[in-house]
Amino acid sequence: MTADGVSFADEHLLRELTPQVLGAVIRRFGDFGAAEDAVQEALLAASQQWPKTGKPDNPRGWLIHVAARRMTDHLRSERSRRLREAAATDSAVAHVAPDVSLPSLAFLATGQAATNHHAEQDDTLILLFMCCHPSLTSSSAIALTLRAVGGLTTAEIAKAFLVPESTMAQRISRAKQTIRTSDVPFDMPAPGDQAERLAVVLHVLYLIFNEGYTSSFGARLQRTELSSEAIRLTRALHELCPNEPEVAGLLALMVLTDARKAARTGADGDLIPLDKQDRTLWDRHAIDEGVALISATLSKGAVGPYQLQAAIAAVHDEARAAEDTDWSQILALYGLLKRMSDNPMVALNHAIAVGMVHGPRAGLDLLQELGRDDRLAGHYRIDAVRAHLLERAGEREAAIECYRVAAERTTNIPERDYLLAQAARLARRV
């Protein structure tokens, strides 16, 4: 059971139903912001009532019913407010904006969606596109996606990103206001806009997963609640877009990477690098799933960045021991990815692969060039990679200094402790 008494199965069900319920309410009332608030109130009501009364026979209908009642109360309150304001300014009641449309008693009694045509429609994909609107910043899109589509509360999202709940509430509120003023219709983007919007959706899901897999801040290396939610949402997207190669590529990348999570930390939460991990702890079922997914996708011909990253993850996962890793294949894949992407992190990983195949000095030469990229200036990872390659090149004192610099620059405590431990280990050998 969770802290509020809702079982884990029911909690998962509530999050799965969130976009379906929200879509039904938005279709009926047309107000994304108010509908999202109403659905959150319905989810809260379910978490409080279901442990006492039992789960209803039609959980989706129950949630739609409660959310619609909340929306009706909101609309009636707004109508009354406008009437009072009109009266206060001596305006004629006849000049008040037309009465808002309230749901029929039949709609409220049955708890069904607004129209029969959309009663059982799954609006997850539409909501993902709406929450990832290009007018939103990445941080706002992530927050809104997690709340509206993922079903996380504002408090849960704030905790995951280590900001006060009030700050996250303001961020989400601004995002909803942006969508409201942009007049985004509740429908799929026009065919000409779908490719660009899909790229934004995938990028947001990718960022959510990365933040969960290696947290930017705090005492935990991983925030599995975020990485798991990113995988769930990407699975939903893949089910709705089965013929999109990059959707399949992103899902494969997430599954293959997440398969290693049990081996990434020790008993005390300390970081264990890839080459030191106990690979018997890796999830072989997930690896098989990811390999099958990326193999099927690559055979279709249209190869994108997420597919290449998934292929690299598959090469790592298929190596039964670190020394069995096919670094030549990884280098070739990073070479393709580098030509396709201007991402400095891709260039950094390419330098690592070069160092593993052609020797540490070749990798260090590439780092010298990367060090002039302003996007990597001051980032701890370039110092951490430089330290690793310097150690392999036998330059221990220089490696110690780079490990220490990297430790000072990271804000993730397990990563910091690992880097300091590496510096201390080398110092004992100098």
Judge residue 78's burial from the number of C-beta atoms within 10 Å of its C-beta, 0-12 exposed, 13-18 middle, 19 or more buried: middle
Query: What Rg, from alpha-carbon coordinates, does the chain have?
Result: 25
Contact 389, 353 (CB under 8 A): no
For position 91, what pLDDT does the model report? 52
The candidate with the shortest Cα–Cα distance to 313, out of 374, 260, 373, is 260
The candidate with the shortest Cα–Cα distance to 370, out of 356, 358, 384, 391, is 384
CA distance 398 to 396: 5
Contact 209, 310 (CB under 8 A): no
For position 98, what pLDDT does the model report? 44
For position 425, what pLDDT does the model report? 96
Measure CA 183 to chain center: 25
For position 122, what pLDDT does the model report? 65
Contact 332, 350 (CB under 8 A): no
CA distance 11 to 313: 31
Contact 256, 286 (CB under 8 A): yes
For position 86, what pLDDT does the model report? 66
Kindly report the pTM of this predicted structure. 0.80
Domain boundaries, the chain: 8-118, 242-267+276-325
Q: What is the pLDDT along the chain (430 residues), one digit of tens a residue?
A: 454 556 667 777 888 888 889 988 988 888 888 888 899 899 889 989 999 888 898 999 999 999 999 888 888 877 777 776 666 665 544 444 444 444 443 343 344 433 344 445 567 778 888 888 888 888 888 889 888 888 778 887 887 777 889 999 999 999 988 888 887 777 778 877 777 788 889 999 998 999 889 988 888 999 888 899 899 989 989 998 899 999 999 999 999 999 999 999 998 899 999 999 999 999 999 999 999 999 999 988 789 999 999 999 999 999 999 999 999 999 999 999 999 988 899 999 999 999 999 999 999 999 998 988 888 888 899 999 999 999 999 999 999 999 999 999 998 999 999 999 999 999 987 6
The amino acid sitting at 405 is V
* Residue ranges of E strands in 179-294: none
